[in-house]
Amino acid sequence: MDREVIIPEEMREIVVRAGYAPAVKVGDTIYVVGQVGRTKDLQVIQDPHEQFTAMWENLRIVLEAANCTFDDIVEMTSYHVEMSKHMDVFRTAKNEVFPKGTYAWTRIGVSELAHPGLLAEVKCVAVKR
């Protein structure tokens, strides 16, 4: 089966710097790597709500580049630093853009993520309808 690497224009820097693609499409299935709340120049956003909002926006950008939307997500895993402290804010930001009850979701608490200050990371699998 053919593979298509998905690299939105806004994320070319991460490919250069980190060496991985934001998503890979195989058939109608899109595998999106962990998205975090940082700016286009890869700076971590400090405010939790703004960081989570940017994370969802980054996920939207990748899905859009694969001709998908949040509605196409079938499985999602999120990783959280200090999960109990930030979950209410995380859910608020998620619910502002993401449909409820249309996907399987696993949440995992972790001690740290790739860069200091990151509070959450989300990866997902989408199936284009």
Task: Map out the domains of the chain as residue ranges.
Answer: 3-127
Q: What is the pLDDT of residue 99?
A: 76
Say if residue 62's pLDDT is above 90: yes
Q: Is the pTM of this model over 0.85?
A: yes
- Alpha-carbon distance of 129 to 120, in angstroms, equals 28
pLDDT at 41: 82
Contact yes or no for 15/21 (Cβ under 8 A): yes
What average pLDDT does the segment 67-79 reach? Answer: 96
The CA distance from 39 to 55, in Å, is: 9
- pLDDT at res. 112: 97
Assigned CATH for 3-127: 3.30.1330.40
Question: Which pLDDT score, from 0 to 100, does residue 47 have?
Answer: 97
> Which pLDDT belongs to residue 79?
98
At residue 125, does pLDDT exceed 80? yes
* pLDDT tens string 3-36: 999 999 999 988 888 889 999 999 999 999 999 9
**Strand 104-110 and strand 73-81: pairing?**
parallel
Q: 128 to each of 64, 107, 123, how far by Cα in Å?
A: 11, 23, 16
**What tens digit of pLDDT does each residue of 89-123 get?**
999 999 998 878 889 999 999 999 999 999 999 99
